[in-house]
Structure 1
Amino acid sequence: MTESRFLPGFRLDWKLVNGVRIHYASAGDGPPVLLLHGHPQTHVVWRKIAPDLVKAGYSVVASDLRGYGDSEKVPSHAPHHPYAKREMAKDQVALMRALGHDRFAVVGHDRGGRVAHRMALDHPEAVDRLVVLDIAPTLTMYEQTDQAFATRYFWWFFLIQPEDLPERMIGSDPEYFLRRHIGGQVKTPGAITEEVMGEYLRSYRDPATIHAICEDYRAAATIDLDHDRADRERKIDAPVLAIWGDKGVVGELYDVTRTWRDKAHSVQGRALDCGHAIPEEAPHALLDALVGFLAD
């Protein structure tokens, strides 16, 4: 184990779970909370949140999803099964159990929120509370796609193109793509330092990471939709808190709270003054919301 450079007080380690090496940072004692990042970030997205959750009395685990950061890049091609959210959720449940946490709260941003949604459906015995950040349910977003969404979330339709078109195009200049992607979503100047951008870019320059990310999105548009349609009438048992950025696309195009009330028995919703990257743009407001929800 080594000390984290970005999450003060956290130690970095790996565990082989569900047949995959998952990289994670952990610290603290108390009720367990799992933090799941989105695209194109890594667990480092929680650097402004995780240490304060530890101070608030929680045992915190922030992992890299399979294919992202320093977690294993699992080989995958059509039909994209290795990057189904069902498999990605299994990784994280197995990780938490390996760390001694059989039941825990999960906070998922972006792609991590989609993994957390599937986790809450497939592993209700494990998920105590669910927080989803700046997403509406995947099936809802695809079924309600219109020109406004397709234009502003173009990567949902670019990254799912057949291998290896997006891989080659991004791989020709990954730094340009990463900076343009993050720059288009972040509405708070200075929220991401050059040091942090460099860390994200370290991962994004790896062709295996780029392929894994494309497979994640391809799975979302194929096998994940099959799973979501099969579970259309099922609802999440755990209490849900849905948070979105009021300067972002999701809050503008969807009634976020209503979309989650279609998927869960108990839902609270609120907007924060920021864009898409809530943990980086509005960490203090997010922390207040999380501590209140987790302690309720």
Structure 2
Amino acid sequence: MTFFPGFAPFRIATSGAEIAGVTGGSGPPLLLLHGYPQSHVLWHRVAPLLQDAFTLVIADLRGYGASSKPPSAPDHAPHSKRAMAQDMVEVMAHLGHARFDICGHDRGGRVAHRLCLDHPETVRRWSVLDIAPTREMYRATDETFAHRYWHWFWLTLPAPQPERMIAADPQAFCRFKLGQGRAGLAPFSDAALAEYIAHMSDPATVHAMCEDYRAAASIDLAHDDADGDRKVAAPLLALWGGHGVIEECFDCLALWRRRVDTVSGAALEGGHYLPEECPRDVADRLRAFLLDG
């Protein structure tokens, strides 16, 4: 199935990976990054609502989708948000975009945060969907959050334990993970769900996903701590699901204000997978924030 009619596919070699995705539309550049356990297909309902106003670059993170799966390392550096952010800066430069806006959902939002810290000259404005900063979420973990976000801790177990369990029935695992929200699997089209299951059925992708979470619990936190009190200067729009874990467990805006100078945002009428649950609301709020700024 063609999820992005009229968009041009790309595969770009960076200094550490090969990044696959699509690009299309017209206007200022906007990089869209997906989360776990999905791929760039996450944006298939949002892209048609924004392509008249932005040149969209919609990429698979390294380790996900059709992007390459770099070998892992004991310190998990090849799957750190720093490495993923470097990929995206190189992809955007290759496509002719030296400065751009970003919107990242879930893991993609964490990559966007690190990109803003490591490459501040490249980012004009940015948005995250249904996340708070990684380090602050870990530090605020309580019983409710640990139960609701069990995968944050389980996926960090030493390889190959989580990998083997997922490989036993990847379709069942993918459907369970995506269907945990209030809406179940209803937000996902049959074609998108099949795409996510196909990627989850690849052992290399599953290992890379686990490495992403292992990095988040180790080297990513070290990178955050090394930043000290440094904040991101680029303005941030934080959106989250009013029926999700972020709303239940955290003061999203307060946590982001610890890490970013200028923060605005709101809860939307949805759960975790906002680009597929409420694409019109996501698109309208991005359009207003990015074009009015």
Question: Could you state the TM-score of these two structures normalised by the residue count of structure 2?
Answer: 0.97
Amino acid at match of 2:108: G
Query: 1:44 pairs with 27, 30, 41, which one?
Result: 41
More off after superposition, 277-286 vs 17-26:
17-26
The residue number in structure 1 matching 2:274 is 278
Aligned-partner Cα distance in 1 for 2:16–2:217: 24
Aligned runs of 1:178-193 on 2, under 5 Å?
178-185=174-181, 187=183, 190-193=186-189
Aligned-partner Cα distance in 2 for 1:77–1:210: 15
Aligned-partner Cα distance in 2 for 1:7–1:163: 35
Aligned-partner Cα distance in 2 for 1:290–1:188: 25
Q: CA deviation at 1:206?
A: 0.3
Amino acid at match of 2:34: H
2:15 is equivalent to residue 18 of structure 1: yes
Amino acid at match of 1:151: H
3-state SS of the aligned residue for 1:78? coil
Aligned-partner Cα distance in 1 for 2:275–2:227: 29
Aligned-partner Cα distance in 1 for 2:197–2:246: 25
CA deviations on 1:65-110 (whole Å, 9 max, x unpaired) are 0000000011103210101100000000100000000000000000
The residue number in structure 2 matching 1:223 is 219
Aligned-partner Cα distance in 1 for 2:37–2:19: 17
The residue number in structure 2 matching 1:149 is 145
Aligned-partner Cα distance in 2 for 1:244–1:267: 13
CA deviations on 1:16-59 (whole Å, 9 max, x unpaired) are 0123110011002220000000000100000011122112x210
2:98 is equivalent to residue 105 of structure 1: no
Aligned runs of 1:51-90 on 2, under 5 Å?
51-55=48-52, 57-90=53-86
The residue number in structure 2 matching 1:287 is 283
Aligned-partner Cα distance in 2 for 1:294–1:5: 27
The residue number in structure 2 matching 1:30 is 27
Aligned-partner Cα distance in 1 for 2:269–2:237: 16
2:258 is equivalent to residue 262 of structure 1: yes
Aligned-partner Cα distance in 2 for 1:232–1:243: 25
3-state SS of the aligned residue for 2:120? coil
Query: 1:242 pairs with 238, 241, 253, which one?
Result: 238
Aligned-partner Cα distance in 1 for 2:277–2:20: 24
The residue number in structure 1 matching 2:165 is 169
The total of aligned residue pairs comes to 292
The residue number in structure 2 matching 1:123 is 119
Amino acid at match of 1:35: L
The residue number in structure 2 matching 1:195 is 191
Structure 1 outlier segments of 4+, above 2 Å: 185-190
Amino acid at match of 1:285: D
3-state SS of the aligned residue for 2:238? strand
**Contact in 2 for aligned 1:68/1:213 (Cα 8 Å):** yes
Aligned-partner Cα distance in 2 for 1:41–1:256: 23
**Contact in 1 for aligned 2:230/2:259 (Cα 8 Å):** yes
Change (3 A) 1:281 1:287: same
Change (3 A) 1:188 1:167: closer
**Contact in 2 for aligned 1:186/1:277 (Cα 8 Å):** no
RMSD, matched Cα: 1.1
Query: 1:211 pairs with 197, 201, 207, which one?
Result: 207
Q: Structure 2, unaligned stretches of length 5 or more?
A: none
Question: Could you state the TM-score of these two structures normalised by the residue count of structure 1?
Answer: 0.96
3-state SS of the aligned residue for 1:13? strand
Q: Structure 1, unaligned stretches of length 5 or more?
A: none
2:3 is equivalent to residue 6 of structure 1: yes
**Contact in 1 for aligned 2:175/2:185 (Cα 8 Å):** no
Q: CA deviation at 1:188?
A: 6.7
3-state SS of the aligned residue for 1:93? helix
Amino acid at match of 1:52: L
